[in-house]
Every structure is written in structure tokens, then in C-alpha cells.
Structure 1
């Protein structure tokens, strides 16, 4: 009979994996929209807060992200309303490139809103997180030639920042 030794690290990893099973990968779909089409307030799920604590990722931690892995190094980039798969270009705490970030894009307002709900490191499992894409000086602002349901942006890379709730 083989005895499996359980270490605290293994138990924490198992707990993290169990809590991530019910987490959304691309948003809840229950976000109220503001009159301009941008998403309203949304709580960060407790499972994501636990996972971020375990990973030692804090609110405000940030890095760089390619907004759409299907349009790497494209300028300008066209984002579509709905699910998005992005890729880290820099470390975000222990998450290293090319960790994938899964989230949702809203294109209804004057600026694109991107919220991330899960991260998947290379060779690893998806982990719930809460993060947003941001650029200074209005650079997530849509170009005027953006059609409904799309947003044309000048840059394919943005900052990604950890949050504890979506505002």
C-alpha cells in the first residue's frame, strides 16, 4: 500500500483548484449596463479573492498584456464585444508570460472596458482573478470609425491591473 504524504502546499493547491471549478471564465453575463453601454459595478467573486491571496497578487499589481492573442502586434487593433483571450507580456506577480487572461470586452461607451475573470499559466490550470485593462490619457478610447459592437484602438497592448471589485 502506497502512502501519499500531504504537504501544506499540496493541500493549498488542491483547495485552490476546487474553488476555481465554479468560476466564470469570461464574465458573469449579469452585469448591469449604464446608459452609455459600459458595464456597471460588479463584485469580485470570493473564489477569485482567495486565489489572488494564495498567489500573493495584490490590488494595484500590474503588468502589460496583449489585448487579443489573435491580433498580436497589430496596429490598430479591432476588439469585438464579448469574450476575449489576452496574453501577459510581463509578469503579474507569479504569473509569467505567456499566461492567458480570459475576460470580456464591452464596446458600448466612448472607451473600451475589459474585465478579466481568469488566468491560465502555461501548462497550468485556470485560476479565477479580477483584473482590468487600462491605459493612461484615454488610450482605450475607441476610434470614431468603430462600428457598433466593435472598438478600434490604436494600440494592441495595454496595462493590466488587479482589482478587488469592478467599478
Structure 2
């Protein structure tokens, strides 16, 4: 039994690494003059998995942006990796689930790109491509945000499935 779990874990790691998620997919992103990330393709393997799980472009759900700051107001986000919590089902991905991605705070508003999800029911790591969005400029940084950080009002945002990062 333990060897089966170890084999499944190994397969999940290989799948994630081969799809470019989450580490290598965030490494070579170009930065725009305003400090926000440039375009980035969604790996083919991620698109295949999303199609299988009925995670189609435009599918959305609510997410707690930072698993360590749920329901706090305001929250501070930092450049680098982030772990979020899915509040609603997204396609066949059941909530709650962890979403893993990267935060950029260099532009006028926070940019969060997600590259993987971890179902909390014991499922394997799932490669995906999604972004955090919130209308009315609510992901805009407070002026007192220090370099490398972003203070924002809402601890929640919508997470949207995309086929590439723009």
C-alpha cells in the first residue's frame, strides 16, 4: 500500500515537472516596464488536464487569496509563491482545494497566476492555468505598499481558468 502511494506521488511529481508547473513555469517570465509579468504560455499538459477536468476557459470560482490570511482585511501579499484556498468547486475540482501560483506586485495592481491545484481529499497535484481577478480595481495596491509587497483590501478574488497568461 505504501509503495503504491509512493509510486503515485512520484508520478505526480514527474507530471508537474514535465508540464512546467509550478516551479519552472514561473521562472522565465518577462517583466513589463510597469513591473507586471509579460505573456506566458499555458503548458500543453496543463491544457490537456484542464480539458479532462472540465476546467474550460472562463470557468471561475471564489478563492481565498492567501491561505495564511483567510478572511483578514486588508491583506499583504509578497512577490513570489502563493498558496490559496478554493472556496467553490471549479469544474470537477472540488472545494476546498489548494491552488499554487506566483504573485507579482511590481505593477499598479497585484498579478496572481496559478499553475497547480492540490485537492484536499488526497488526490494528485493537478496542473492548470488560472488567474486571480477582482473587478472595480480591487486588486490595486495601496499607495503605502512597500517594494515587493502589495497591501490590498480583499482577501478573496475570483479565480478564472485561462489558456495562456497575457
* Alignment correspondent of 1:146: 145
- 2:135 is the counterpart of 1:136: yes
Task: Quickly say closer, same or farther: Cα 1:21–1:30, change in 2 above 3 A.
Answer: closer
Query: Structure 2-normalised TM-score?
Result: 0.88
Q: Deviations over 1:77-136 (max 9, x none)?
A: 000000000010111111122100000000000000000000110111111000000001
Cα distance in 1 between the residues matched to 2:37 and 2:155: 22
Cα distance in 1 between the residues matched to 2:138 and 2:97: 24
Secondary structure at the counterpart of residue 97 of structure 1: coil
- 2:56 is the counterpart of 1:73: no
1:20 Cα offset (Å): 3.5
* Alignment correspondent of 2:51: 53
* Alignment correspondent of 1:24: 21
Cα distance in 2 between the residues matched to 1:130 and 1:157: 18
Cα distance in 2 between the residues matched to 1:146 and 1:19: 37
Runs of 4+ displaced beyond 4 Å:
none
* Alignment correspondent of 2:3: none
Gaps of 5+ in 2: 1-7
Larger radius of gyration: 1
User: Is the Cα contact below 8 Å between 2:26 and 2:102 reproduced in 1?
Assistant: no
1:21 Cα offset (Å): 4.3
Cα distance in 1 between the residues matched to 2:44 and 2:73: 37
Secondary structure at the counterpart of residue 58 of structure 1: coil
Secondary structure at the counterpart of residue 130 of structure 2: strand
The total of aligned residue pairs comes to 153
1:57 Cα offset (Å): 1.0
Secondary structure at the counterpart of residue 71 of structure 1: coil
Aligned pairs for 1:1-167 (under 5 A) are: 17=12, 19-22=15-18, 23-26=20-23, 27-122=25-120, 123-167=122-166
Query: Structure 1-normalised TM-score?
Result: 0.87
Cα distance in 2 between the residues matched to 1:66 and 1:75: 12
